[in-house]
Amino acid sequence: MTTLEGVGVGRGIAVGPVLRMPERLPEPATLASTIGPDSEKERVTGALAATAADIRVRGEKAGGKAQEVLEAQALMADDPTLRSDIDMRVDNGATAERAVFEAFAGFRDMLVALGGYMAERATDLDDVSQRVIARLSGVSAPGVPESDIPFVLVARDLAPADTALLDLSVVLGVVTSDGGPTSHTAILAREKGITAVVGVSGALDITDGSTVIVDAAAGSVVVDPSEQETGRANAELQRRAARADVPVGPGALADGTPVPLLANLGSVDGLDAALAAGAEGVGLFRTEFLFLDASSAPTVAQQYGHYSKLLRAFPGKKVVVRVLDAGADKPLAFLNDAHEENPALGLRGLRALRASEQILRDQLTALARAASETDAELWVMAPMVATVEETRYFVAIARELGITTSGVMVEVPSSALLADRILAEAQFASIGTNDLTQYTLAADRLLGSVASFQDPWHPAVLRLVAEVGRAGAALGKPVGICGEAAADPLLAVVLVGLGATSLSMSPSALGDVRAELLQHTREQAVAFGAAALGAEDAAGARAAVRALLPRPA
């Protein structure tokens, strides 16, 4: 058993035998033409036109994004610059096959030299070249192998024409050795929901017929897996299939323990989607998203309109609104100083509001007014709270302005470590795992080079969550989770095991999380939490929890 690594596309899993994509056509020989330039050019015209037409037909069949990609490829076959390059080579005595080969190769090298997105288009150009040469030589173009038995396709890279037309009833997944996250294989695989791992070095050493497990979430390809590994992957597939059938209802564990599932929203536009996905309320309304373009602070009246619409959509339900979280990745012109060296560590969140207290007062006034006219249960929380004193400040000002339920977000390690003191002042806490992870691991959440640190499965983050969970239980105060971590189904169960009493996430994640919660009892969730806390890193925490999942029958 060997595990190869690459870049996963989506979260799918596939298990099956490998079929390799046939290798490229051999390079056309450098022979002098025997029929003369005019006849060679005629052959070129026919082959280019037929190839472009063929690609367009495939595009029409596929539709959507695939059609756009294939149209761009057809245009390559029509390209006048390429055509004059081919003609020049034919005039110098080359055969049509050789001239097409050399001209396309020259353009390909130019794209590769440009790097990045352009380099990833090189495969598209190669594919057109191969199709034109195949047509000129009277052989069939290299493409996806045919099979009646479902298989995992392994290739150097897939051309758009291939990806667009994959027969999803037999292609279980795709593994490529080339290509990156923006290659067309990745773009189209994402759109079509194909399980794929791209850029896997060693992929071309996998032999036809070997069994593989393609795990896009983990970005791994396990070759010749053990029976135990295969069993686990199949069990995971069954779990996912079962999720699709779970009816929309209130969030709960298998033993009936309620775990309210709430929506994260950034405007009132997402209300319908949240309600359709069965959101039991709102766990995080990011008010700063309403005013990102504003150059001056919004008035009470402007804000009232938004809050009123939001609250009216959830009669009798909990709606947690966060006061403006300005700063770092979400600066607001009317609240932030643009010249901080380290804005993530600067005057942001509640600190910025406190420095412009009238803005906070206006927002709380607008919220209280909207709440007094609707049946929704309004909770208001402050972002980026780091001290007990800040908690006291926020709760006092909220109360003064007519907010009956006020709490704080736990996004800074200091407030997790002092959760008992903080929750003695606040009525609830909501853990923002995105920032809590960023500050615990000292890794900028926007920086790709440290993205591997931004993993909420890290036991250091989970220990902080457990600290807040313990404090909430001891004081009888609710502890929600509203960072991305709540949208990871298995991690959601771990968080409940560590004391989270509700989970809030983007509406599209609600179904999967609801289904996963129903698979586990409270006792199991607590055991998952303990296992994750005992690990030394994020991968270890994941593995420790996966090892506790029920074995396949």
Residues with catalytic annotation? 184, 482
What's the CA angle centered on 387, arms 300 and 487, to 5 degrees?
75
Cβ contacts of 14 within 8 Å, gap of 6 or more: 152, 172, 173, 195, 213, 214
Which of 11, 243, 286, 421 contacts ligand PEP by CB under 6 A? Answer: 286
Which of 432, 469, 478, 480 contacts Mg ion by CB under 5 A? Answer: 432
- Report phi then psi at 42, rounded to 5: -60, -40
Does the protein bind ligand PEP through residue 435 (CB under 6 A)? yes
From residue 487, how far is each of 135, 178, 468, 503 by CA, in Å?
49, 30, 19, 8
- Residues 478-488 as b/e (b if ≥16 CB within 10 A, e otherwise) read bbbbbbbbbbb
- The tokens describing 129, both together, are 């070249």
Chain centroid, CA 318 distance in Å: 27
Q: Round to whole Å and give the CA distance between 527 and 529.
A: 5
Strands in 2-5's sheet, in edge-to-edge order, are 2-5, 220-223, 211-215, 13-20, 151-155, 171-176, 195-198, 7-9
Closer of 390 and 435 to Mg ion (Cβ): 435
Bridge partners of 9, per DSSP, are 196
Bridge partners of 4, per DSSP, are 221
Closer of 62 and 319 to ligand PEP (Cβ): 319
**Interface residues for ligand PEP in 483-542 (CB under 6 A)?**
483
What is the total count of residues that contact ligand PEP (CB under 6 A)?
Answer: 10
Does the protein bind ligand PEP through residue 432 (CB under 6 A)? yes
Which of 259, 468, 482, 495 contacts ligand PEP by CB under 6 A? Answer: 482
Does the protein bind Mg ion through residue 435 (CB under 5 A)? yes
Write down the least CB distance from residue 381 to Mg ion, Å.
11
Closer of 278 and 483 to ligand PEP (Cβ): 483
Q: Round to whole Å and give the CA distance between 198 and 220.
A: 10
**Interface residues for ligand PEP in 192-231 (CB under 6 A)?**
none
Closer of 43 and 445 to ligand PEP (Cβ): 445
Write down the least CB distance from residue 322 to Mg ion, Å.
9
Q: Where does this chain touch ligand PEP (CB under 6 A) — which range of 84-92, 251-259, 399-407, 431-439?
A: 431-439
Closer of 120 and 325 to ligand PEP (Cβ): 325
Does the protein bind ligand PEP through residue 411 (CB under 6 A)? yes
Closer of 107 and 379 to ligand PEP (Cβ): 379
- The tokens describing 400, both together, are 């003064």
Q: Round to whole Å and give the CA distance between 298 and 156.
A: 54
Which of 51, 183, 336, 433 contacts ligand PEP by CB under 6 A? Answer: 433
Write down the least CB distance from residue 209 to Mg ion, Å.
49
Residues contributing to the site for Mg ion (CB under 5 A) = 411, 432, 435
Residues contributing to the site for ligand PEP (CB under 6 A) = 284, 286, 325, 411, 432-435, 482-483
